[in-house]
Amino acid sequence: MRQRERADLMRLDKFVRESVLPRTHPHTTARRRVLEALGEADGLCTARTRNTDGDVIVCTLDAGHYDPDDKPPFKDGKPGGWHKANAVIWNDLGAACIPHAAL
């Protein structure tokens, strides 16, 4: 039975890498979840914040990107050096934020 389970896991891993991962957009929560499932999220930022509903939002950018002085030009939504997850952009100074350094 173990050999069959291992073969099933290998097929699932292959499917996720070849079909699911390429369909996710970079720097999105969906891509982060896929990378976490594959065990490959080590290189991602760990900063977190909470939205107005109280949901935890985790940064989807690469680790080491944060620069509080690189403020985003909010017109086009690019994060500058701040944290980003889908359409949410934040810095470590917000009351609901957990900076990457705190983890």
Burial 18-48 (b: 16+ CB within 10 A, else e): eebbeeeeebebebbebbeeeeebeebbbbb
DSSP letter assigned to residue 25: P
pLDDT at 74: 73
Give the predicted TM-score (pTM) of the model: 0.75
| Mean pLDDT in order along the chain per 10 residues (103 residues) | 85 89 88 91 90 88 89 74 87 77 45
How many Cα atoms are found within 13 Å in the side-chain-facing hemisphere of 60? 22
